Structure 1
Amino acid sequence: MKKRQILAFIGAIVATCLLVTGLQVFSPNSVGAQSGTILVSAAASLKEALEELKPLYKQTKPNVNVIYNFGSSGALQQQIENGAPADVFISAAKKQMDALQSKGLILNDTRRNLLTNKLVLIVPKNYSGITSFRHLTNSKVRKIAVGEPRSVPAGQYAEEVFRNLGISQQVKSKLVLGNNVRQVLSFVESGNADAGIVYATDAKISSLVKQVATAPANSHSPIIYPVAVLKSSKNAAAARDYVQFLSANRAGAVFQKYGFGRS
């Protein structure tokens, strides 16, 4: 009889443990439920698309709050390297993501190429006389807005275009540097620059500028937007889920609406 009681007692303990484990697994507050907040550091050119995607993601994961930190990819990279909190990083070029990966700061298995873009030449809406990148050497063009090449991928791509077209020296003294691609856009919108080099997606959102030329694909490095979860993420499960969401067709339709290509 005692033996039966002991076995029954052990069985009850095991059942209780299983029940508690089950409750932990399915609890809304557990990691698997993907709750809490994730901070996404993303290239400035993604602002409108990601803002539109925010409520769509909220529909699928109502317990997850997504906060954005937009800026130049180089500045965001430095923030992350200096210990700034972030869960997901989306760069406008491979260079910045490669740097973080080489320092062991991302979860390698989460890295993927998310989007593509095109580099374009823009001028103020009523400006005339510029229809190609080579026209930037004309004396009529006094100021050309570009991203700061060391930290802004759009500026790096622009630098490559100038070099491949053989006009780097002719335009060097005309360059006005922006801290990110959206500042470059604003320089042209305000008329503080006669022309600017931005992404096709930036030109698309502004009614104050017009796109007059697209840089040939072979004149610069491929424009790729990689995404990855950071190793320092405090909510890696939710961050991984968010990256999956960005790669799905529903998010892809929104990105395409803003002019991005799928990688």
Structure 2
Amino acid sequence: MATRKDRLKGVSVALAVLLTAIGPATALAAEKVTIFAAASLKNALDAINGEWRKQTGKESTASYAASSALAKQIEQGAPADVFISADLAWMDYLADEKLIKGDTRSNLLGNRIVLVSGSKDAAEVEIGPGFDLAGLVGNERLAMGAVDSVPAGRYGKAALEKLGLWPSLAGKVAGAESVRAALLLVSRGEAPYGIVYRTDAAADAGVKVIGTFPENSHPPIIYPIAITADSRNPDAGAYLDFVRSPKAAALFEAEGFTVLE
């Protein structure tokens, strides 16, 4: 007759076999989808992630920063499932390094860049060649994303160069680590003016849009999306489909984005 010790041993072995069979799959299925997204997407993507949870019962987590910083983190092995960049360049960077799944890549959104002021009484301006933005800024600083790495800063510099305004402004720029950081400089009164995305300006009641840069003054503002090459999350594809869905499109448009798909 089997002893109590033998019976307990048998139960332990059976449990071990069962956990080996279903444990990893169960853990994987319950894993959150991790999204690395440009800082300018925070409001829209927070709403979309909430809707994803409501409709699917599944969880996601988003990390927001400059596209440059996120791309470098992915390159260094950060565990992201989905990357949404604020420009094509940083997605191309990861594609060249074989760090995204190319067949999942698409152009998701468009945006505009605007000039904002921290004063509600600031007069609206017409932005074009000959516009004296340097005179408007005076001895203060113009807040922008870092022009050598942050997409919003790159778009802003390209526009200023195209309009012939960059030489008079290069020494006045306060480069920030992300477009949201540049927005805060204006909102908090640390810089009188800034160049940010239209969607960021709409998300901060502390700033006023006083002018919009002509679309032909800079490269098209495109947000591409893709699943990372290292992602093994079985929900990543479904999440990507949801972000491209009409429901998500409405939430993006509510924040001022142009949906490209």
TM-score calculated relative to the size of structure 2:
0.85
The residue that corresponds to 1:249 in the other structure is 246
- Does residue 240 of structure 1 match 2:237? yes
Q: 1:125 offset after TM fit, Å?
A: 2.7
The residue that corresponds to 1:68 in the other structure is 62
Assess, with a 3 A threshold, how the Cα gap between structure 1 residues 214 and 140 changes in structure 2: closer, same or farther: closer
CA distance in 2, matches of 1:103, 1:220: 26
Alignment of 1:44-123 (within 5 A): 44-62=39-57, 64-123=58-117
The residue that corresponds to 2:6 in the other structure is none
Determine if contact 1:110/1:228 at 8 Å carries over to the other structure: yes
Assess, with a 3 A threshold, how the Cα gap between structure 1 residues 139 and 253 changes in structure 2: closer, same or farther: closer
- Give 3-state SS (helix, strand or coil) of 1:138's partner: helix
| Residue identity in the other structure for 2:145 | G
| Residue identity in the other structure for 1:211 | V
Gapped regions of structure 1 (runs ≥ 5): 1-23
Q: 1:127 offset after TM fit, Å?
A: 4.8
Query: What whole-Å deviation, never above 9, does each CA across 1:22-64 have from its counterpart, x for those lacking one?
Result: xx9xxx9497xx54211100000000111111221012321x3
Query: What whole-Å deviation, never above 9, does each CA across 1:154-179 have from its counterpart, x for those lacking one?
Result: 00000101110111110011100110
The residue that corresponds to 1:195 in the other structure is 193
The residue that corresponds to 2:152 in the other structure is 154
The residue that corresponds to 1:205 in the other structure is 203
Assess, with a 3 A threshold, how the Cα gap between structure 1 residues 174 and 129 changes in structure 2: closer, same or farther: farther
Assess, with a 3 A threshold, how the Cα gap between structure 1 residues 140 and 253 changes in structure 2: closer, same or farther: closer
CA distance in 2, matches of 1:261, 1:128: 27
Determine if contact 1:74/1:150 at 8 Å carries over to the other structure: no
Alignment identity in percent?
Answer: 37
Q: 1:150 offset after TM fit, Å?
A: 2.2
| Residue identity in the other structure for 1:101 | A
Report how many residues are paired.
234
Find the partner of 1:128 among 110, 122, 138.
122
| Residue identity in the other structure for 1:223 | I
CA distance in 2, matches of 1:135, 1:127: 19
Determine if contact 1:146/1:158 at 8 Å carries over to the other structure: yes
| Residue identity in the other structure for 1:144 | L
TM-score calculated relative to the size of structure 1:
0.84
Q: 1:151 offset after TM fit, Å?
A: 2.0
| Residue identity in the other structure for 1:251 | A
RMSD: 1.8
Determine if contact 2:114/2:209 at 8 Å carries over to the other structure: yes
Q: 1:149 offset after TM fit, Å?
A: 1.7
Large movers: runs of 4+ above 6 Å = none
Determine if contact 1:130/1:136 at 8 Å carries over to the other structure: no
68-77 or 126-135: bigger deviation:
126-135
CA distance in 2, matches of 1:127, 1:160: 28
Determine if contact 2:71/2:94 at 8 Å carries over to the other structure: yes
| Residue identity in the other structure for 2:60 | V
Q: 1:126 offset after TM fit, Å?
A: 3.1
Gapped regions of structure 2 (runs ≥ 5): 1-21
The residue that corresponds to 2:5 in the other structure is none
